[in-house]
Chains A and B, each alone.
Chain A
Amino acid sequence: MSDYTEPNNSEFTSGEQVILDIMSTVYPKLMTTSGSVLREVVVRPLAYVYAWLTANFNDMRKRTTMSYLRMSNATDDPVADAVASNYFVTRRAGVRSKGVVTVILNTETTQFDSGDTFNADGIALATPMRTIVMGSRFYVDNGVQYVPSIPYDTANGLYLANIPVYAVESGNIELAPGASVAVEFANSSIESVMLTSPVSGGRDVETDAELMARAEYNTASAGVGSYYGIKKKLANSPVDVLGLSIVAGEDGPMWRARYNTVGVSPGGYVDCYVKTYNQYAVDTLVQTITHDTPQTHHEVEIRDEAHAGLFAVTQLTVNGTPVTNYSVAFGSSLSGVPAAGARLSTLQTLILTFDTNASLQELQSSITVMYMPGVSAIQTFMDSDVNQFVGQSLLVKGAVPITVTLACKLEYNGTPDENVINGIKQCMAARVNAYPVGAEALNFSDLQDAVRTSYPEASIRLPCSMTGSLVLKDGSTAGMFSTAGVLNAGYPVSVTEWSRAVCYFSLIADNIRLELI
């Protein structure tokens, strides 16, 4: 606040005119010409004070305008905090990333202490509380989390457990599945460790621009179920919502609204696509399948609250044996809502079809799924009496990530070390992950701006090859490619497939390749 600016000459002249006018109006006979005592002793010092005030007021006006602050990436500007307080928002601290570490155990039961640490590519990941691996159900009781013990290699007595972990450091930490993991505590039950799910969902300290964005919707009405109203409600959601898109009315992806005999939306339906993680989360769903009689053909409909709105199945294991030939379909658990309308929501059901060599009546299946965490919790939150909007049928769905890989050239004034290169990659990834849900295209110029701002001595150059992959409605994967510097999210454009309105771009530093020139 004590950062003052000096007035310029025109501000001083203007101040002098104002002071002269006051003096000559009140005391018309006073001599105030240049060189007179009054001019030199009274007018000029006062003019300076006036000019100083004008300059500092103007400077402060500029620095306290929303337009200015919305462009600022500073995180420690007290003026921005003061302005934000006008709109009843305070700067958020950083949030830790979360993920799941998969451990292979040589016993069915084991336990970890709170804070037991794994090291994944140099990032410390810790268990959030005392964790006991046992049984077939995940639950938390009295400060202890119970994680299911899944048969993995029954012949060798191996079991698998997915241990929830969080990054010890807060901030925007992103790790892709497959990163090497080391165990940094003693536990003889552990045979091996893998990172099967991304570590994501963390956030740095809020910038001025992000703070102003929250001020924007915090001043908006929450009583009306508008875009702002819903966004404002979700700011208090039990799960951190990083981005959202509202689909309603005549919008293309509003499939459930048109399920009537005229095929036209009657209004009243709202789908809210949320992004709670920057990447797909991966988890294993343990399911016991039971038939009336033993059979080799198995078709089972699964509804799982914890993984509501899952995108796709990536792996199926039955009784500890991987099944390679299986098919997946998606249905609806609610009459009046078609499968297309229930997709990615808590109403979605998973229909899994596969064959086994032997006739089986009861099967232990473990289904590895990609999903958006928190959909179910957010739906419950929005369904509560205090949060529901009158006259609105609101369904929470998982927004669809477009996983991007990128390669371009880097020009650097000097020789960048590995830390600088990694920093540039992080900066590019952060820019892409800051795109809103529903962004039309990923533009290379945005990445250039981000790098230029954070690393003035660096510049990324075309050509840039960008690829994107996303899971389609049927659970299959589609890809897109561009060398033009713009990756368009509008693929595939079809009334029956995703619209860009429900997709978002996801990029992690590991998926960026920079060629130094």
Chain B
Amino acid sequence: MNWLNKIKSILGGFWAIVFSDKDFTLGVEKCHALMSKHQQTLHDQWVASGIAADTRAFASALPFPIWLLKSETRVNPSTGNTMMTSCVVHPAASWDDILNGNAGLDSRQDGGGFVVQSRYSIPMPRYMSDHVIDFTLTLFDKADFTWDGHAFLFHVDPTALNLPEVSIMDSDGILRVYWKMFGWSMPERAMNDMVNAIYSPELSPYSDIVWDIHQNGATYYNVKELLGAVTESVICRNSGAVDYFWTEQDTQCMLVGEHVYTAPLTAARNFDRGSNVREGDVLFGSLKFMSSQDMEQSMPDATMAPGMSVMTDVGQLIAENAGKEAVEQDGVSVLPLVGSYGASTPGEYVELCVANAHEDDCAYIPVPSEVNPLQFVMCTLRRGCGILTSLIATGTKPVEEALECIRKSIMASGMMTVYVQAEGDNVVTVPSAFSAVAGNAAVAEDITVTAKNMFAEAEVML
């Protein structure tokens, strides 16, 4: 690129007239051109160095201006009087109400946010400053403000911040005063791009965990962390006693050792003050995680895990979470599985088991006369291979994507059974959504809804 010519065209003839010294003119042009060439080289090196896929370098290098509408002043054409209106909305209404125009100024209330509109469409700032360099004020995303793509919700009063202002008389005859700030769009996580592309944008808020699963494989711990994250459950990261429990606005907080854990008020609290917790415990939320070892000690409640879908050579059956008597035929003790609609042990299945028991090659697995079929499958048959998970999700989409991610990275010979109770979704649509998207092996194609308790049951197999 010929930067000298480009600079000449930008400058135009204006200053050549002001300064008639051609050497001086050429010198300034060369200065700009040299600097531009340098920037171009940096750009090329940046691309060539292969960091292009990581947005960090770009976003932290180039700030962008943010103009926030402070006030509007209109002139009454008949009287000539002016009327200034503050454009900062300080309501108690919900974010949605504010943006949909359902909340007026009369709904102000202490503790609510301050809504300010942006003049331009801008990328999401991770933090804002009052100046590009030598800034004295910094506001951080989530802590000081929230950005929804059109407007800011400030958690602090912007009128008290003494922000730089600029006034513009717009073509509609309204004088608008803007606060002028600068945004820095640092990416939330470096591997967002990969997570978006490989998995789903739904999982990008959890890209650290997803990337850990992708790169290191799905483990008991990172799977728990991901499913916890998508269901707003909070996993403990240290051991100790629950020292304090308190609430702040719409958040509940728990102090364990030196760590504070927070969750929405709607999340279930699983430990009281004084309880001892360990790393991996679910402090808040609906997530339940059990290995076969845990289930040997105590079985999960039947409302949490009503039964497990098992595939046999005569079709899909359910291993119920209830005490049962084994079926005896021809001296063979058969696991009391039931049909999908609660029928007693299907005859075909009994015949298959009896036939297999009389074959020399077939692996013999003794079935006790009194048995809980779910516990037998998890703890005896699949000892060490299985995990049972139960969760409540307000939307199934992120859960579905999380299961897909786990499916691709979980050891193919392991098994994970996930029970999803959907809130707010039509439960009937859940199984089809799972089976359609997950496919292949991990989230098995055979998924049933146990109508009795409206649980959607998904088997994660790999």
Contact = CB atoms under 8 A, between A and B. Distances in A.
Interface of A: 1-2, 4, 10, 14, 17-18, 21-22, 25-26, 37, 40-41, 44-46, 48-50, 52-54, 56-57, 60-61, 64-67, 70, 79, 82-83, 85-86, 212, 216, 219-221, 223-230, 245-252, 254-255, 258-270, 335-338, 389, 391-394, 438, 440, 495-496, 499, 501
A249 B7 contact: no
19 contacts: A14-B64, A18-B63, A21-B131, A44-B11, A48-B6, A49-B32, A52-B36, A61-B58, A67-B196, A82-B50, A226-B410, A249-B462, A258-B312, A261-B367, A262-B365, A264-B311, A264-B381, A335-B361, A336-B362
Nearest to A255: B313
Given A252-B446, A264-B312, A438 B439 contact: yes
Interface string B43-54: 110111010110
Given A17-B180, A57-B58, A438-B440, 11 more contacts: A53-B39, A60-B43, A65-B196, A227-B409, A248-B462, A249-B414, A261-B353, A262-B367, A263-B313, A338-B361, A495-B313
A65 to B, nearest CB: 5
Contacts of B335: 262, 264
B311 A495 contact: yes
B10 A44 contact: yes
Interface residues of B, number: 91
B64 to A, nearest CB: 5
A41 B29 CA distance: 9
B interface secondary structure, majority: mixed
A261 B362 contact: yes
A67 B28 CA distance: 43
Contacts of A337: 361
Contacts of B53: 64-66, 83, 86
Contacts of B215: 219-221
Nearest to A245: B440
Contact of B412 (A48, A82, A246, A501): A246
B439 A440 contact: yes
Nearest to A35: B14
Which one of B32, B55, B311 has the greatest number of beta carbons of chain A within 10 Å? B311
Contact of A264 (B55, B65, B357, B377): B377
Contact of B356 (A18, A254, A259, A391): A259
Nearest to B354: A261
B30 to A, nearest CB: 12
Contact of B50 (A83, A219, A438): A83
A220 B410 CA distance: 11
Nearest to A332: B361
A270 B10 contact: no
Contacts of A66: 53, 193-194, 196-198
Contacts of B439: 438, 440, 501
B72 to A, nearest CB: 21
Given A60-B47, A269-B413, A45 B133 contact: no
A85 to B, nearest CB: 6
A493 to B, nearest CB: 10
A226 B461 CA distance: 11
Interface string B180-193: 10100000000001
B312 A226 contact: no
Contacts of B441: 227, 245-249, 251, 501
A389 B411 CA distance: 9
Among A40, A82, A262, chain B packs the most CB atoms within 10 A around the CB of A262
A187 to B, nearest CB: 49
Interface string B114-142: 00000010000000000111100000000
Interface string B428-458: 0000000000011110111000000000000
B175 interface: no
B310 interface: yes
Nearest to B42: A53
Contact of A229 (B15, B35, B52, B217): B217
Contacts of B349: 263
B327 to A, nearest CB: 11
Interface string B184-225: 000000000110111000000000000000111110000000
Nearest to B12: A40
Given A251-B461, A252-B446, A392-B413, A219 B194 contact: yes
Contacts of B364: 260-261
Contact of B462 (A86, A227, A252, A261): A227
A333 B53 CA distance: 51
A266 B218 contact: no
B50 A85 contact: yes
B461 A250 contact: yes
A21 B217 contact: no
B133 A26 contact: yes
Nearest to B36: A49
A257 B343 CA distance: 25
A65 B357 contact: no
Contact of B55 (A2, A61, A250, A394): A61
B410 A56 contact: no
B273 interface: no
B83 interface: no
A435 to B, nearest CB: 13
Contacts of B315: 495
Contact of B332 (A61, A223, A246, A261): A261
A25 B58 contact: no
B382 interface: yes
B385 interface: yes
Contacts of B133: 22, 25-26
B155 interface: no
Contact of A391 (B15, B194, B413, B461): B413
Contacts of B415: 249-250, 267
